[in-house]
Every structure is written in C-alpha cells, then in structure tokens.
C-alpha cells in the first residue's frame, strides 16, 4: 500500500487569516479594490475640481472613458490569450484615415467601406496572430511590426499629411450634450455599452469564449483538449485590429480631425485600463474589469489634469500605475522554481 505524501497532506504553516482568504476570493471574481478606488477618486474630484458633479461633467468623463474602453476591447481579448497588442495605435490611425479620406478617395460605396473597415484589419491582424502561433514569435514584436504597417498604409494613403476633418454625423456621436433616441446620453456611450455587453456575453457564455480562455490559460492543455489554438490566435488578433479600426473612426469624430499620432496615447491608456482592471495575461479576466479600469484611469486622469498636471504627467503616472498593478497581478516564477 502506498502512502506517499501528496498535495492532500495536511500540516502546513499557519493558514492565512480568513478575512484575507474571503477578500482575495471576492477580489478574483469582482474588482472590489478598483471600485473602492473609483469612489475615492470621485470624492477627490468633487473636492478639488470646481463644477465637478454636474450631470454633464460626469457624462464628459464617461465619454472619455468610452473612448479608452472601446480602444481597450481588443487589448483585453489579446491579453486574455497571453499576449500584448502594440498595433492598437496604428489601426486607430488607419481607422480614422479610412473614414475621413480613403473611403472617399477610392469612391468606395457602403459595401466597400465595410470591406475596408473589416476585412483589411482582419487580414492584417489575423496574419499577425497566425505567424506568431505558427513560428512562436513574441506577439509584442510582431504587433510592433504590424503597427508600423498599419500606420504606413495610412501614411501612404494620405501622403503623410494631416487628414481631413471628420464628417458632422461622426462628430455628433461623442458630444456630451448629444442624445440617443431621446435618451440624454451621447451615442458613443450607448455604443460602448452595447459593444461591451456583446463582448462580455461572448466571452462568458459561448463555447468560443470558453476556448479563448482555455487557450490563454494553458495553450498546451488547450491543444490536448482538441481546441484549435492557432485559429483562436488568428481570431483574437484579427478582432483586436478591427476593434482598433472602429475605435479610430470614433476617435476621429471625437477629436474632429486626425493625424498620424492620433492613436499614440491610447496604447498606454488601453493597456492601463486592462491591467488596472485586473485582467491578467493569460487570464483570468473579462471586459467588465476593463470597463472599470477605464473609468478609474479616466477619473484619475481628469483629477490629475484638472489639478494642473500636464498630459505628460498623466503618462508618467499611468506608467507607474501599470507597474504597480503588474506587481499585484503578474509576477513571474522565480529562478529557483524553474530549475
């Protein structure tokens, strides 16, 4: 009879306090810490920013959060599979330029526009995902290359010069006083909510979402479980590229115009939203966490800038926040445990 000691054996060091256990269990399921921080920052905002608290000031923050949130959809899904997508800025610019210039230039009808906005990023992103999986290339460097390609296409299309400004209907989507079918909420927020619900649903409740999580959690086990992980990667990176294109179009409306640097802040803003929200590379995580993360960092940005700090300061702060969040969620195994 074998009586080998196994993981079932008892007698370990003193157990962690029960509060800590319940808290970390709850925190895993729902980002309590982040919500608390939102409350804290909201209070800070009320106190330090004059005029904050009016309906439209809140809506303005939500509009900004929506922009970050939409650009972070693709990033969320990519991070869930264990990668990082650095091509977000490039596709944002390509999306903006497509709407403002390319579609007009090439005289594409509605069908052509759809092809441009969906097929081009799908092919580029999908190719990146396929190549990374097939050749075991780090997604960070490949998406860095893809970023350059997307940006390059936009640059070639506009000859490197500033793109024309946005059509009025597009601008109307993100005006704070805008309304959607009578509701006193600008359309962009409704769009955000809609896309967010859809993405969350697919991730949580469909077999495809389940396979995505499995691929991110343990690719080898996913292969063994007969999941076609290569196609998961293709789909994920294609989706991220499409999402960034769409986000770019919406950003065009918000900003009123676009140049090649339009997408740059949204790389770290989107990544910060995902990481601060609590999604870990490879899972667990979901889009709701990213939404909360987006709201939190937008609020932090607003308070920061409202109190006289510059966008540059905000960038520094967010870099620090990303580091801190990674320390909580994403440390690697020590060398001892890898020998």
Partner 1 sequence: MPEPGVETQPVPTDVQLVIPVESAVAQKTAASSSRIHVSGLCKSYGQTVALVDADFDLRRGEVHALVGENGSGKSTIVKVLSGIQLPDGGTATVDGAPYPVGSPRASIAAGVATVFQEVLSVGPMSVVDNLWLGADGVFSKKVDRASRRRRAQEILAELLEVAPDLDAPIEELGLSDRQACSIARALLRDPKVLILDEATSALDHGTRERLFRRVRLLTAGGAGVIIISHRMDEIEDIADRVTVLRSGRTVAVHERNGWTPGQLVSEMTGVDREVRQKIQTRDHSLGPVVLGAYQMALGPHSSPFELEFRAGEIVGLAGLEGHGQDLFLRALWGDRVHAGSIVKTDGERRDSIRNRRDASQHHIAYVPRERRDESTFGSMSILENFALVTISRDTRAGLISRKASRSRFAKFIRDMRIKMGRDSDRLSTLSGGNQQKVVVARWLSADPDVLLLNDPTRGIDINAKRDLYEMLGTVTSAGMCVVMLSSDVDEQLELMDRVVVFRDETVERTFSREDVTRESLVAAFFGEDMRA
Partner 2 sequence: MTTITSGPLSGTLRLSDLSLRRRPYLLAGGLSLLLLIATVIVQPATNWSGQIAAFAPLAIAAMASTSSVLGGGIDLSISPVMALTGILYAGYLFPAGLGGIEALPILVALGALVGLVNGFIVVKLRLSPLVATLAVMFIVTGVNLRLADRPFTVTGDTWLRVVSGPLGPIPGGLISIVIVVLLWYALMATAYRRSIYAVGGNDATAYSAGMRVAAIRILSYVFGSVLAVFAGLSLVGLTSSASATTSSSYLLVALAAVAIGGTSLLGGRGGVLGSILGAAALFLVQTLLSSLGVPGAALPLIYGIVLAAALVVGAAIALRRTKR
201 binds, among partner 1, partner 2, none (CB under 5 to 8 A by kind): partner 1
312 contacts partner 2 (rule: CB under 8 A): yes
223 binds partner 2 (CB under 8 A): no
Helices marked H in 218-260 — which ranges? 219-224, 229-255
| Distance between CA atoms of residues 286 and 111, nearest Å | 32
Four-CA torsion 79, 80, 83, 88, nearest 10 degrees: -40
**Does 119 help bind partner 2 (rule: CB under 8 A)?**
no
Torsion, Cα 8 14 20 22, to 10 degrees, reads: 40
What sign for the dihedral angle of Cα 305, 308, 311, 316?
Answer: negative
Q: Residue 160 binds what, of partner 1, partner 2, none (CB under 5 to 8 Å, by partner type)? A: partner 2
Is residue 332 involved in binding partner 1 (CB under 8 A)?
no
- Pick from 284, 305, 306, 322 the residue near partner 1 by CB under 8 A: 284
Binding pattern for the stretch 51-90 against partner 2, x by CB under 8 A and - elsewhere: ---------------------------------x------
Q: For partner 2, which is the closer residue by CB, 27 or 148?
A: 148
Those residues with Cβ within 8 angstroms of residue 139's Cβ, 6 or more apart along the chain or in another chain: 78, 83, 84, 85, 128, 129, 132, 237
Q: Which is nearest to 304 in space by CA: 330, 272, 281, 274?
A: 272
Residue 144 interacting with partner 2 (CB under 8 A): yes
Q: Is 147 in the site for partner 2 (CB under 8 A)?
A: yes
Query: In the set 88, 94, 234, 318, which binds partner 2 (CB under 8 A)?
Result: 318
Q: Which is nearer to partner 1, 263 or 283 (CB)?
A: 283
Is-cis flag, bond preceding 280, omega within 30? no
Please choose, from the candidates 35, 104, 53, the residue with its C-alpha nearest in 3D space to the C-alpha of residue 302. Answer: 53
Under 8 Å between Cβ of 84 and 139: yes
Using CB under 8 A as the binding rule, whether residue 339 contacts partner 1 is answered as yes
Residue 308 as a binder of partner 2 (CB under 8 A): the answer is no
308: Cα within 13 Å, side-chain hemisphere: 1
Q: Which one, of 291, 296, 276, 302, lies nearest residue 46 by Cα? A: 302
The stretch among 4-12, 99-107, 154-162, 187-195 that binds partner 2 (CB under 8 A) is: 154-162
In the range 196-225, which residues lie near partner 1 by CB under 8 A? 201, 205-207, 210-211, 213-214, 217-218, 220-222, 224-225
Would you tell me which residues interact with partner 2 (CB under 8 A)? 84, 128, 131, 135-138, 140-142, 144-153, 155-156, 158-160, 268, 271, 281, 310-320, 322-323, 326-327, 330-335, 338-339
Would you tell me which residues interact with partner 1 (CB under 8 A)? 1-9, 11-13, 28, 201, 205-207, 210-211, 213-214, 217-218, 220-222, 224-227, 280, 282-284, 336, 339
């Amino acid at each position: 009879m074998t009586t080998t000691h196994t993981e079932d054996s008892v007698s370990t060091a003193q157990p962690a306090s029960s509060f800590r256990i319940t808290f970390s269990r709850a925190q895993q399921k729902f980002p309590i810490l982040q919500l608390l921080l939102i409350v804290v920052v909201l209070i800070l905002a009320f106190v330090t920013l004059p005029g904050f608290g009016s309906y439209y000031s809140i809506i303005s923050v939500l509009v900004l959060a929506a922009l970050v949130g939409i650009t972070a959809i693709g990033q969320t899904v990519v991070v869930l599979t264990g990668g990082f997508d650095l091509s977000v800025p490039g596709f944002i610019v390509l999306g903006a330029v497509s709407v403002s210039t390319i579609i007009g230039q090439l005289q594409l009808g509605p069908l052509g526009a759809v092809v441009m906005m969906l097929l081009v990023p799908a092919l580029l992103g999908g190719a990146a995902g396929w190549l990374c999986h097939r050749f075991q290339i780090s997604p960070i460097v490949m998406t860095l290359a893809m970023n350059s390609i997307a940006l390059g296409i936009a640059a070639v299309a506009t000859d490197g010069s500033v793109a024309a400004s946005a059509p009025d209907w597009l601008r109307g989507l993100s005006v704070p006083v805008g309304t959607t079918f009578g509701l006193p909420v600008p359309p962009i927020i409704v769009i955000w909510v809609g896309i967010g619900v859809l993405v969350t649903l697919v991730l949580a409740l469909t077999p495809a979402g389940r396979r995505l999580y499995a691929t991110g959690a343990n690719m080898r086990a996913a292969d063994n479980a007969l999941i076609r992980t290569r196609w998961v990667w293709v789909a994920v990176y294609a989706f991220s590229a499409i999402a960034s294109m769409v986000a770019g179009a919406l950003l065009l409306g918000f900003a009123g115009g676009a140049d090649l640097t339009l997408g740059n802040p949204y790389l770290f803003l989107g990544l910060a939203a995902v990481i601060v929200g609590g999604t870990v590379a490879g899972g667990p995580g979901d889009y709701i966490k990213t939404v909360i993360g987006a709201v939190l960092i937008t609020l932090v940005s607003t308070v920061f800038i409202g109190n006289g700090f510059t966008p540059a300061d905000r960038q520094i702060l967010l870099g620090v926040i990303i580091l801190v969040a990674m320390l909580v969620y994403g440390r690697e195994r020590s060398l001892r445990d890898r020998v």
